[in-house]
Structure 1
């Protein structure tokens, strides 16, 4: 290990110091994978707690105590996909014996991206309602969503994994292949949020910026914060391309942050207003 021991890229004051680190050193690679493993378990544990503590919302919908809306299927899809993704990740990391890592990584990617897809659809439907189904905006929103989904599919197809005997778990190979997907996700979410906020500002200029409209605008601002906190760290690390564990380090926290943010925003709107209130807005025929 030699000079690499004790070196942390975050203690360096310039890029040249990072470049001096041998990121292919097996000992350093193992240590980084162990860090990745711990961070993943912390993030996954947070999401499991979040899932369990909000089961009352699901119970109220299923028992009829809360009005059922078809968008609840998207909400549930996001929650369950994220939960199954966490469980699948834990399976690969906590296996006590060699498993079929290629099958593991494919299921992990599918479940992870399903959670992102459901979260994005909720935003697209809200954009349609806010813009009163204006054709150009609807086309832009759905094309953005479809393009991002295509990148997800490509990422699943190209995903590769193998067993790492020194660490005792599956590792994802050639993580740099996900660079374009990570960047595309950030761009797509920013486009969708921008469309939503500009649509709400139209109501402000028309003197309709009150009640549920103001609430949706505040939710839009919150979603920008969620997208930034969740996706920027992953994007920065994949662009820097230090090594596979650092490229992947913040992707599980990204999933958790996005899933929690999307589902909490959905529950917040469900608690704030009813479908009848939304229909009082000019031209609005969409459910929240």
Structure 2
């Protein structure tokens, strides 16, 4: 088995430095850098940004909520910005990722409400069946701990690999017990995975980055996560102590509403799945 060495510590350190430098202009914890009435929420563009834009345009005013959305293109800065106070909340991550982030960085971010499930998928420009990969084929996977473990579990669900007993959400290629096709695993930043499709046999891509690249999870993925018993629903998160902020409570209620559920069903048609109703 060939494994490209993980670069997480370097990437995380650089991202933390960038976020903290941005934080010098923030107005302090809970301020979000906006006025006192506006809830500033960080998000990746798809689907989080689109869901929040729907809430802002169609539901927020009636609920008495002022909402500002700030979009990010990575998975680290929205959490560091939330920790140091230039955001009031964020929406883009699942609970296993949040737990790992807190553990590795010493942050104290907490979940508020689950909003939707963006299923991870396996994509390819070269094959149509993940179970028929050639011997020695290269598989690109996310290089952050939680998403890499999630990607390996997805491959294992089809018998492409077998993971060691007890391998958890932080599984890495070192936890592979059987690799009958001698697959090589290339660890890349999640945002780079769609661009790798011409260079690898398959890539396991997070939903938001797949859609950003024009890929349809329901039409283009050759393997897609099931919603059944899936722990990876994306959630609204805040810094510990801000869970009872009235603005956060209003947004949480809207994200759990039947209006948002219908919006997700109508817009994404299975590419993103609602997990709440109200």
TM-score range, shorter chain: under 0.3
Task: Give TM-score, length-normalised by structure 1.
Answer: 0.23
Which structure has the higher relative contact order (CA within 8 Å, separation 6+)?
2
Task: Give TM-score, length-normalised by structure 2.
Answer: 0.23
Larger-gyration structure (1/2): 1
Higher fraction of helix: 1
